[in-house]
């Protein structure tokens, strides 16, 4: 099968990696992460799938206290991660400021150990998504935590008032409609499969969602801030196998803050509709 190269506009790349367009332009200016292609007529910037992984590395190393100059030096030496001695130096720095830098010290220790073992990747699943009638609620929220208040306290009661009967098996998902990353204004749509359409209200609209014959899916464990790592795995698989992205990713929240005490136990299935 011929490999189909995926290109992301700067806004799409921003959204996938949860960084602002302003940040991406700064990284381009300093030579840290340069777009793969710049259209000479439109000025549009395009990024490759493998640059999602590089962006993940930049974000991760920044959180660990490495400066942009230090990260660029790592990449200039054609390395993906700093050397053991660099990591040990940062750990000693953490020990001097334990109260302020305890989180960084822990993460650096984990990074040191992961250099000696191979990370196990989550399994990719290919499946169809059924045609469904959904009760849809769309609004701009300040963060995903707001959604988990809306569902039991606003969306659920309104669906009950309208006489909605949830489909079996249950199927609910969200779609992020933002064209680029925003950390405080997320245009989020919540969809829940129901047996039949009811009369629309100010809060709930009903619509028919067609079948998705093929979706590339994987389970994401942990905090939502680490979604870019899962995106890197998914889109690398999509590109390698010659698929074309057909629609927005869907996020099916299976376990989360409402039923799990630890972030490590949070489970989200990410579904990306594709065509051959």
Q: What is the pLDDT along the chain (276 residues), one digit of tens a residue?
A: 666 789 999 999 999 999 999 999 999 999 999 999 999 999 999 999 999 999 999 999 999 889 999 999 888 887 777 888 888 888 887 777 666 656 777 777 766 765 543 343 458 999 999 999 999 999 999 887 788 889 989 999 999 999 999 999 999 999 999 999 988 889 999 999 999 999 999 999 999 999 999 999 999 988 888 889 899 989 999 999 999 999 999 999 998 888 888 888 889 999 999 998
The Cβ of residue 147 has, within 10 Å, a number of other Cβ atoms equal to 19
- pLDDT attached to residue 121: 43
**Residue whose entry in the numeric block shows the structure tokens 């290109």:** 7
- pLDDT attached to residue 1: 60
Whole-number Å distance between alpha carbons of 158 and 140:
18
Kindly report the pTM of this predicted structure: 0.74
Sorted by sequence, the CB contacts under 8 Å of residue 241 that are 6+ apart come out as 1, 3
- pLDDT attached to residue 86: 84
Tokens for 151, please give them.
Answer: 């569902």
Cα-to-chain-centroid distance, residue 114: 22
Sheet containing strand 8-9, strands side by side: 8-9, 45-47, 37-38
Q: Can you tell me whether residue 189 is helix, strand or coil?
A: strand
- pLDDT attached to residue 172: 95
- pLDDT attached to residue 155: 95
Cβ distance 182 to 19 under 8 Å? Answer: no
Helix locations, the chain, DSSP H: 10-17, 21-29, 50-63, 68-76, 84-96, 98-114, 144-150, 156-161, 227-240
Torsion from C-alpha of 183, 186, 191, 192, nearest 10 degrees:
50
Cβ distance 214 to 266 under 8 Å? Answer: no
In angstroms, what CA-CA distances link 22 with 62, 116, 181?
Answer: 17, 36, 10
């Amino acid at each position: 099968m011929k490999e189909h190269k995926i290109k992301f506009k700067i806004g799409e790349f921003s959204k996938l990696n949860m960084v602002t367009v302003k940040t991406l332009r700064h990284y381009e200016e300093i030579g840290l992460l340069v777009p793969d292609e710049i259209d000479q007529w439109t000025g549009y910037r395009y990024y490759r799938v493998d640059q999602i992984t590089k962006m993940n590395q930049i974000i991760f190393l920044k959180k660990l206290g490495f400066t942009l100059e230090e990260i660029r030096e790592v990449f200039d030496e054609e390395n993906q991660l700093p050397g053991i001695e660099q990591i040990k130096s940062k750990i000693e720095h953490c020990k001097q400021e334990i109260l302020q830098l305890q989180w960084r010290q822990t993460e650096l220790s984990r990074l040191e150990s992961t250099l000696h073992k191979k990370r196990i990747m989550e399994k990719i699943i290919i499946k169809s998504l059924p045609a469904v009638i959904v009760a849809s609620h769309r609004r701009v929220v300040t963060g995903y935590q707001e959604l988990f208040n809306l569902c039991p306290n606003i969306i659920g009661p309104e669906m009950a008032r309208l006489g909605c009967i949830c489909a079996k098996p249950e199927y609910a998902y969200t779609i992020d409609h933002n064209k680029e990353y925003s950390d405080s204004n997320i245009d989020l749509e919540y969809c829940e499969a129901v047996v039949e359409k009811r009369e629309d209200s100010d809060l709930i609209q009903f619509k028919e969602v067609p079948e998705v014959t093929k979706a590339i899916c994987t389970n994401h464990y942990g905090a939502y801030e680490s979604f870019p790592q899962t995106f890197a795995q998914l889109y690398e698989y999509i590109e390698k196998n010659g698929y074309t992205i057909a629609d927005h990713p869907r996020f099916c929240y299976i376990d989360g803050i409402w039923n799990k005490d630890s972030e490590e136990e949070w489970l989200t299935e990410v579904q990306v509709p594709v065509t051959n």
